[in-house]
Amino acid sequence: MRLILITFIGVAFGFLMGVSYPILLENKMTLSTIVLPDNSTHIETPTISPQVKAQEVNDVRKIWVPSNPQGAERLAPGIVVPHSDLYLRRLYGHPSEFSENFTILLFHYDNRASEWDQYEWSKKAIHISALKQTKWWYAKRFLHPDVVAAYDYIFIWDEDLGVQNFTAEEYIKLVKKHGLEISQPGVDPRRGLTWKMTKRLEDSEVHKETEERPGWCKDPHLPPCAGFVEIMAPVFSREAWRCVWHMIQNDLVHGWGLDLALQRCVEPAHEKIGVVDAQWIVHQGIPSLGNQGQADDGRPPWQGVRERCKLEWKMLQHRFANAEKNYYKSMGIDPSNTTSH
């Protein structure tokens, strides 16, 4: 798999892994099929004509299954497929569902998708291109939980990561061993760090907490001292991603502040979120998205992008605060008596 995990320049990419699909067996499902009455066919007469009788028989055969997904209630349960996947299907013969353990999506924001054809593995990848968009914009629109339900883990990584010391299969083994629902590889500290939590620790498989700078952590079990990974290289379990996807805002595409909110999606976060030190990466720090901005009033393009990132972070904080405040009020709870995230 190291052939797949090369450094990607000029694209942000989603990297999805999994071979086990959660099959819903009949003995695990309770489906109630009911009949829809049709009042318009009920005729109050002493005798019923053969035509009306036939209509009533047809009404009895109508299907209505409330436990089906919304909008699919009129379908027999056996034909409903509530999830999709991203497996490429051969157009002839008998296609195989699981040719490999991984599916690769390349999210292109630079309109240069065809240049990747020089790599043989790229011909088997799925390429999605939209000019000047971020990986979180793509993730919200193309990685719906029902689309990626076939995958055990979803890697949503930046394009400027060095992976010479990373093997995906070994990484997943450690994630399972330590019970991590949200994780990231350790980051080589020699190239600079934003958060101490992401620093790779030598002679360690995994770490779940750290000591940050004074005043940065109100609680040692809360971000950024614990329950925290950065947005450059997160890895989500299927269950955690279902929560995180719903948390991503359609209009806040840079993802700033999202890493500090991930702990809302698993419990207890300080035990189920962590950094895998034994499989580590190098953050190259290439500001490729900055070049996608627009120069205004003599300012370089990256400045406008950075300002938007900071603004989105504040907007996300306000939305969380308002949403949780309104929730507690609706439940008759004084928000001041709750533990803030």
Mean pLDDT value of segment 78-83: 87
49 & 165 share domain: no
In a domain, 241, yes or no: yes
Instruction: Say whether pLDDT at 28 is over 60.
Output: no
Instruction: Select from 37, 53, 79 the last residue of a domain.
Output: 79
The two three-digit tokens of residue 106, written as one number: 């390349």
141 & 237 share domain: yes
71 & 97 share domain: no
What is residue 293's predicted lDDT score, i.e. its pLDDT? 60
The answer to whether 43 touches 50, Cβ cutoff 8 Å, is: no
158 & 183 share domain: yes
Instruction: Say whether pLDDT at 36 is over 60.
Output: no
Residues with Cβ < 8 Å from 294, sequence gap 6 or more? 301, 304
Instruction: Say whether pLDDT at 233 is over 60.
Output: yes
147 & 281 share domain: yes
Instruction: Say whether pLDDT at 1 is over 60.
Output: no
Give the residue ranges of DSSP H helices in 106-237: 135-142, 168-177
13 strand-pairing partners: 106, 157
What is residue 99's predicted lDDT score, i.e. its pLDDT? 46
Instruction: Select from 63, 79, 95 the last residue of a domain.
Output: 79
Instruction: Say whether pLDDT at 23 is over 70.
Output: no
In a domain, 306, yes or no: no
In order of 21, 123, 322, the CA distances from 222 in angstroms are 33, 42, 20
In a domain, 273, yes or no: yes
What is the CATH number for 181? 3.90.550
Mean pLDDT value of segment 173-187: 98
16 & 159 share domain: yes
More confident residue, 109 or 45: 109
Instruction: Report residue 252's pLDDT band, with 50, 70 and 90 as the boundaries.
Output: very high
Percentage helix, strand, coil, to 5, in the chain? 35, 15, 50
91 & 123 share domain: yes
What is residue 288's predicted lDDT score, i.e. its pLDDT? 65
Domain extent at residue 51 = 27-79
pLDDT, tens digit (0-9, with 9 covering 90-100), for 277-307:
999 999 987 766 656 666 676 677 778 888 9
pLDDT, tens digit (0-9, with 9 covering 90-100), for 86-129:
877 766 555 544 346 788 888 988 878 888 888 888 888 899 98
Instruction: Say whether pLDDT at 56 is over 80.
Output: no
In a domain, 340, yes or no: no
Largest CA distance in the chain: 91
Mean pLDDT value of segment 188-207: 93
Instruction: Select from 79, 97, 115 the last residue of a domain.
Output: 79
| Average pLDDT, rounded, for the chain | 80
134 & 63 share domain: no
60 & 197 share domain: no
Query: In the chain, how many domains are there?
Result: 2
51 & 112 share domain: no
74 & 192 share domain: no
In a domain, 107, yes or no: yes
Residues with Cβ < 8 Å from 73, sequence gap 6 or more? 63, 64, 65, 66
In order of 2, 15, 177, 280, the CA distances from 206 in angstroms are 21, 21, 10, 11
In a domain, 3, yes or no: no
pLDDT, tens digit (0-9, with 9 covering 90-100), for 204-215:
999 999 999 888
In a domain, 314, yes or no: no
The answer to whether 260 touches 222, Cβ cutoff 8 Å, is: no
Instruction: Say whether pLDDT at 247 is over 70.
Output: yes
Instruction: Report residue 320's pLDDT band, with 50, 70 and 90 as the boundaries.
Output: very high
In a domain, 255, yes or no: no
pLDDT, tens digit (0-9, with 9 covering 90-100), for 117-169:
888 888 888 999 888 899 999 999 999 999 999 999 999 999 889 999 999 99
What is residue 41's predicted lDDT score, i.e. its pLDDT? 43
184 & 43 share domain: no
Peptide bond into 50 cis (omega under 30): no
Residues with Cβ < 8 Å from 36, sequence gap 6 or more? 59, 62, 64
More confident residue, 120 or 45: 120
The phi, psi pair for 118, rounded to 5°, reads -70, -20
